[in-house]
Chain A
């Protein structure tokens, strides 16, 4: 019960952050831009003599651009809104009035996590749904496995959320931000190195990318989501930056879930044992 009460108040707390509304506004602005771009792309392709296969490939790539922007906005919004929830409340003493109530510390932590997870789910649903709707409405294209793609993006955000929670039980807000963004930065660069390595047939570069995904599997989840959402022939053609020459396997998803659970276990352990 205590966890649900905490989830409710945290959801409201998160939903009141200006950052969320700024991210939503940025998302709406992006959707408007994306709609306009897609509209003109469809118009130009209609008047040209591009074969249907290539036409679909180009429109699909454009859709991937849309989903990539949603992923990026959701990741940034996740990190920035949750970064101070534990460390900030521990530093200010706000947590003391809660932690002395008859609820366990794990309920406080899980409740807060659920509150943020709810807010992130709502954000992704709006933005992901928006891009899917625009794609269908303007270009009559749809992602291959929209649900899987959306869920993988959600999992990526949950992973980063859990990292900020884990780090927030130990470090100050600023340090927590550096850790979360730093880890995602490693994953991001590593992901691109793996892509370039695969395209250039450089196994060592691919290995560097895989190692970076082991250190932080967040970007690998996006790349897997991208693979799930693209038409099956897109990977073969490799005409776009989202072609995913080296797609993360299902094992990487399992690894990411295990990573999340381990980070959560660590967060619970640290939060239970630390002085408030």
Chain B
């Protein structure tokens, strides 16, 4: 899909597929086109070119929206409503019967931790509380596909944890979650798959479940490592670098770590530290996005 606002191209060439039942992270700097992409998938924004199938139907299909939940970025709603009234309204708009909505409301308020605040008005809610009730309205009709645009913005650490648990619970019940987020640490522990968008184009995608086994960075402190031995590390890690006593390398598999350690020791080098660690999503993000901060 492609979207241009006048001469400004918001989404250049978006092409992606998300499998059912997974948590998909959509990552990119500010202004990369994440929200516009979500809006095109939801039918809020008409693409300038291209098309998308969402749950097998063209994006924006009204009947399919019964199976879709959406938390917009910076959720806000009529401030005079109570949380229960808001959920009732959204449940009814989602096509639920009055009795079914009433049945669901207490459980949802409990899920997002707002039961003690059920009699307040939204105008008395903090930003974090609005995000929570926004998440609840996205889940009221038990959708098959849930779009969450920055769901943890404005939330304290406890709130983030809660959102993370809710997202996982949704996946466990079989729903697909499409997540836009700036908080890479959150995405890293939540998502199964991620795609990186830069200047309106998907530039990379990663399977994070495989990532944990594949991309391992090793930080070591060694003395007396010969240039020949350093060159020999290329059989496991193409990017081995030695600066003084500091050795860094990235290897493709956790299984070869004992071999690398044995090799270094056998070469006659002294090893003082040897720490394998997973390459963080943030490192990956910075590597993919380069120096462009998206501003």
Chain A interface residues (CB < 8 Å from chain B): 2, 5-6, 9, 12-13, 16, 92-94, 96-104, 273, 275-276
Contact status A100-B65, CB under 8 Å: yes
A9 to B39, CA, bound (A): 24
CA distance in complex: A103, B44 (Å):
12
A276/B76 in contact, CB under 8 A = no
B260 on the A face (CB < 8 A): no
Given contacts A5-B93, A94-B78, A97-B134, 8 further A-B contacts (CB under 8 A): A93-B72, A94-B77, A96-B44, A97-B90, A99-B43, A100-B68, A101-B65, A101-B94
Q: For the complex, what is the distance from the CA of A93 to the CA of B74, rounded to whole Å? A: 8
- Which of A6, A13, A93, A103: most chain B Cβ within 10 A? A93
Interface size class of B (residues with CB under 8 A): 20 to 34
A-B contacts counted at CB < 8 A amount to: 63
Q: A97-B70, A275-B39 are in contact. Are A16 and B44 (CB under 8 A)?
A: no
B73 touches A100 (CB 8 A): no
How far, in whole Å, are A93 and B71 apart by their CA atoms in the complex?
11
Complex Cα distance, B35 from A96, in Å, reads 12
Asked whether A13 lies within 8 Å of B80 as measured between CB atoms, the reply is yes
A276 and B39 contact, Cβ closer than 8 Å, known pairs A9-B89, A100-B44:
yes
Which of B44, B62, B70, B76 makes the CB contact (< 8 A) with A104?
A: B62
When C-beta atoms are compared, the residue in chain B nearest to A274 turns out to be: B46
Which A residues touch B76, using CB under 8 A? 92-94
In the assembled complex, the CB of A169 is this many whole angstroms from the nearest CB of chain B, namely 14
Query: Once the chains are docked, how many angstroms separate the CA of A103 from the CA of B137?
Result: 16
| Nearest Cβ on chain A to B4's Cβ, whole angstroms | 11
Chain A residue nearest in CB terms to B63: A102
B106 contacts the other chain (Cβ, under 8 Å)?
Answer: no
Known contacts A94-B76, A97-B70; A102 and B65 CB within 8 A of each other: yes
Interface contact A102-B70, CB-CB below 8 Å? no
| Among A5, A13, A100, A104: residue with most chain B CB under 10 A | A100
Which residues of A have CB within 8 Å of B238? none
A97 touching B92, Cβ below 8 Å: no
Partner of A100, one of B43, B74, B95: B43
**How long is the Cα–Cα vector from A14 to B168 in the complex, in angstroms?**
39
**Complex formed: what's the CA distance from A102 to B67 in Å?**
9
- For the complex, what is the distance from the CA of A12 to the CA of B79, rounded to whole Å? 12
Q: Give Cα distance in the complex from A96 to B75, angstroms.
A: 9
- B66 proximal to A (CB < 8 A): yes
